[in-house]
Chain A
Amino acid sequence: MSDTHAPAHRPQDLDDAIAGGVGESPLRPDGTLKVRGDFAYSSDLWAENMLWGATLRSPHPSARIRSVDIGPALRSPGVHAVLTAEDVPGRNLYGLKDIDQPVLAEDVVRYRGEAVALVAADHPETARRALDLIEVDYEVLEPVVDAELAAHDDSLPKVHPGGNTVRYQPIVKGDPEVTADVVVSGTYTVGMQDQAFLGPESGLAIPAEDGGVDLYLATQDLHTDRKQTAAALDLDPELVRMTMSGVGGAFGGREDLSMQVHVCMLALRTGRPVKIVYDREESFFGHVHRHPAKMYYEHGATRDGDLVFVRAQLYFDGGAYASKTPVVVGNGTTLGVGPYDVANVSIQGWGMYTNNPPCGAMRGLGAVQPAFAYESQMDRLAEALDMDPVELRIRNAISRGDTTPTGQVLDYPAPVAELLRRVRELPLPEAPAAGAEPDIRDLPGGASNTTHGEGVVRGVGYGVCIKNICYAEGADDFSTARVRLQNVAGEPLAMVHTAAAEVGQGLVTVQQQIARSELEVERVNIHPNDTSVGPAGSSSASRQTYVTGGAVQAACRAVRERLLAITAERFGEPAAELSLSGGKIVSRESGVLADIAEVLGSEAIEETREYHHRETFPLDERGRSERAQVQHAFSAHRAVVDVDTELGLIKVVQLDCSQDVGKAVNPESVVGQIQGGSAQGLGLAVMEEIQVGEGKIRNPSFTDYLIPTILDMPPMNVDVIERGDPNAPYGVRGVGEPPTISSTPAIVAAIRAATGRDLTHVPVGPEHIIG
């Protein structure tokens, strides 16, 4: 498939399952509710007798807490509870990798925005005003704000008792000291990006009669939330029941806990339902961000353009708590040379604690930052060699059978060169006619009438990337699916039950498609996600179609096997001769034997299966591993920009992408992921940065933190190829992250081509162009 046209749809009734199996683009089963405004997001929930929770946050990036006085707040009318660290029933620590973050700060606060106390009140404004009555006496300390300094200066204060290094990882391949004909070097920085999902954090906790609690929330991973929450509440995990509500975007920002433990604590204390909803400003403090990074790179090549070595030092600012910093360092170092075959590699990566806002997962985590650096380097190298930048990339592109810097042999397609060739062949926009009066609406600045074309220069740039898919470095990565097939009013109906989070990526559609193809039944319902089925892991690392798709496939095949065994016995035919087709059971010998519904009768067949992908292994102290990562995905972008070189204004005129998705289970959703990922990459390229000064976020609003609007996103040619991975269900390859990664360097390369500027920081602002 290679087009941008919407595939044909079949109409959908509100409650009915839809037609369409693997490889088609049926409508989303949750789509009708979403367009009608009837889909309940976590912030839309309501319960009888409900209270509102609010969170007091530290105003200081680093301080000692001398005392907390909750008395005046507690006495305030309408306030039902005020809780501090002393009230955390269980372990006052949580974390995705390192368990290092307090539910509520005890004796110190480590970042501006850290949760210190909680209030439950009968109205959100009452709760908010009660926060103002809590008196916290802080001894303000000097914050640690520079990650590179933190890595090398032992005299800095320790943010955590164990020191300031979360993870240090070197990768060494070949001869790290080798020399080359042509060497280019550069230092690159990436700003702190925010996921900026539009539906802020929220949850509704309802205390249960059995001493447990039911939490309705928006998250990326129910079971990991539950594990951490149960430990903090000192409850058996079985008593902490979580149900997914509508998720208003995620992009990595809902992997860590936010209000989960807080809202449960308030509900258990007051014995009443409690709801917490963050506002936009609090959301900026309430979740982790993309790690800012500083990266030193040196590339060496022969005069012919063959890469000889890549050496790099990468510093990731993890902020006050570890979150996914270990993974970011792992991804950043292992993928730090990009999708290139390089014989000699020396990369060192540091993930550091500082008193800046905590950073963790965001789409493309750990791979976004080095991609900006290594692609900038490839352009520099091309210039030094007087080579075409695309040809240089193609010449060095990694391919199947090559060995990664960690020593892993790629045993699946890696069509990097093909993607570069394809994206280069996509149609370019028409160049403005020479001498003609330009239409100002098409220029940077647009209707603001800032130019009539004077100083406007067009540039074209390319970027290509590599991203690992699924969990890595020895994590047992799996998902669970329960599939039930039954006869409902004479029709076979499959019910798919997983805990896998639909965050907008279309996972519920994909699950339906798989069940439909495996069981040959048209009607497939998706059971609400909850913790009454086994874990699915997180909707992150572009992994759900792979692992949950694999689990649904496996559970469906187990159901099919039982169905065929029953049929075989009833009709006296060998099961191996039977198959399913169009709702019927068919024998190779005798044709149609029976309707599936008829064979089921009043019996339901239910099977639960886990899907584990191939084992991965940790990196050793030199960064070697037989298989550090289970799969890699690749995308290539070409950007066309117009830059007003006098005012520094940038307009991205066109952004095209070629991506290998292995198998497009849902072609339309694939295109949607590529468009959406590219939009977030464009945001990082030219507008999105959380401004942090002395540990404090200066722009926590959509007035000051800008994300792309419909005017900022240019037309895209999207070219999808399917070079299946034989190890993955249906050959799928993760889709969601790569387009976020390669779009940013392509846009910056285009701005460089237009302006001749170095541009070593993203986002690129007017000051970088006219300064």
Chain B
Amino acid sequence: MDSEITLWVDGRRETLSVDTRTTLLDALRERLGVTSPKKGCDHGQCGACTVLLDGRRATSCLTFAVANDESEVVTAEGLAEGDEPHPVQRALLENDGFQCGYCTPGQVCSAVGMLDEVKSGWPSYVTEDLDESVELDEDEIRERMSGNLCRCGAYANIVTAIREAAE
């Protein structure tokens, strides 16, 4: 069964008819040609498909496109302001926070969403004092980024980059 839906993708309004079984990731990649979210596992295990869905980070392989009618989707491609990369993107670049780069668009979206969660005062498993604002130390960054795999093992530089971007 097909359904017509509207998505706001990286600021563009997109109307498309999708099979109801189509994941948001496949709708983005195969229907709209938005390929910055990557398919590493298609099972929500690797985080390479992470996008910002109505402002929150989400693995786009684990949600159906039809469930997100009228939603706003921001991918790594949509985060830059013209030629100027997002501060998280610039920090990853300058700190060598990637090697092959396949996980990077997902890391970028996850980090941007995570920094917003921290700003909003959301605690994590490792937050020491739930009544105080979160102090974004390395443990917090590692805990909060643990859903994004990097097989090249650029983790140390990812942590450094996120700290830098948060400042």
Contact = CB atoms under 8 A, between A and B. Distances in A.
A274 to B, nearest CB: 15
A642 B158 CA distance: 24
A47 to B, nearest CB: 12
A504 B151 CA distance: 11
Given A44-B35, A198-B46, A711-B142, A676 B152 contact: yes
Nearest to A506: B99
B36 A37 contact: yes
B102 A676 contact: no
Nearest to A249: B100
A155 interface: no
B4 interface: no
A28 interface: yes
A552 interface: no
Interface stretch (A6-14, A84-92, A303-311, A341-349): A6-14
Given A198-B102, A249-B151, A447-B125, A713 B96 contact: no
A669 interface: yes
Given A676-B154, A711-B146, A715-B156, A248 B41 contact: no
A679 B153 contact: yes
A43 B38 contact: yes
A4 B157 CA distance: 10
A702 B44 CA distance: 9
A668 B147 CA distance: 26
A510 to B, nearest CB: 13
Considering residues A31, A40, A505, which has the most beta carbons from chain B within 10 angstroms of its beta carbon?
A31
Contacts, number: 179
A753 interface: no
B11 interface: no
A37 B76 contact: yes
Interface in B113-150: 125-126, 139, 141-143, 145-150
B73 to A, nearest CB: 13
B102 A701 contact: no
B43 interface: yes
A670 to B, nearest CB: 11
Given A38-B36, A38-B77, A27 B99 contact: no
Contact of A280 (B42, B147, B159): B42
Given A41-B38, A197-B100, A702 B45 contact: yes
Contacts of B101: 30-31, 34-35, 39, 246, 248, 504
Nearest to B126: A441
User: Which interface residue of B40, B79, B99, B151 has the most chain A CB atoms within 10 A?
Assistant: B151
A716 B147 CA distance: 21
Contacts of B60: none
Contact of A675 (B90, B103, B104, B155): B155
A6 B108 contact: no
| Residue of A4, A35, A199, A250 ringed by the most chain B CB atoms within 10 A | A35
A679 B155 contact: yes
Contacts of B142: 710-711
B55 interface: no
Contact of A710 (B75, B85, B94, B150): B150
B104 to A, nearest CB: 5
A545 to B, nearest CB: 14
A710 B108 contact: no
Contacts of A44: 29, 35
Contacts of A680: 151, 153
Given A37-B77, A43-B38, A701 B96 contact: no
B35 to A, nearest CB: 4
Contact of B93 (A31, A37, A196, A715): A31
B80 to A, nearest CB: 6
B83 A14 contact: yes
Interface residues of A, number: 64
A27 B94 contact: yes
Contact of B38 (A6, A38, A199, A702): A199
Given A198-B48, A198-B103, A711-B143, A6 B95 contact: yes
B7 interface: no
A200 interface: yes
A708 B92 contact: no
A707 B77 contact: no
Most A CB atoms within 10 A — which of B40, B80, B142, B152?
A: B152
A249 B36 contact: no
A198 B40 contact: yes
A278 to B, nearest CB: 10
Of A9, A30, A37, A248, most buried by chain B (CB within 10 Å of CB) is A37
Contacts of B146: 709-711
Q: Give the interface centre of B37, B39, B101, B102 by most chain A CB atoms within 10 Å.
A: B101
Interface string A329-372: 00000000000000000000000000000000000000000000
B89 interface: yes
A3 interface: no
A248 B38 contact: yes
A720 to B, nearest CB: 14
Contacts of A678: 153
A72 B107 CA distance: 44
B85 A32 contact: yes
Contacts of B89: 35-36
Interface in A195-232: 195-200
A172 B161 CA distance: 51
A78 to B, nearest CB: 13
30 contacts: A6-B95, A6-B160, A12-B93, A25-B96, A30-B101, A31-B93, A32-B85, A35-B76, A35-B98, A36-B76, A36-B79, A37-B37, A198-B102, A199-B40, A246-B101, A248-B40, A249-B99, A249-B100, A280-B40, A280-B43, A446-B126, A447-B125, A503-B100, A504-B101, A672-B96, A672-B157, A676-B153, A676-B154, A702-B40, A710-B145
Given A44-B35, A198-B40, A249-B99, 15 more contacts: A31-B101, A36-B36, A37-B76, A37-B105, A38-B77, A41-B35, A198-B100, A246-B100, A246-B101, A248-B40, A279-B39, A280-B45, A701-B41, A702-B149, A710-B145
Interface of A: 4, 6, 9, 12, 14, 25, 27-28, 30-32, 34-41, 43-44, 46, 195-200, 246-251, 277, 279-280, 441, 446-447, 503-506, 668-669, 672, 675-680, 701-703, 707-711, 713, 715-716
9 nearest CB pairs, A to B: A37-B36, A504-B100, A679-B153, A34-B101, A248-B102, A676-B153, A37-B76, A504-B99, A702-B45
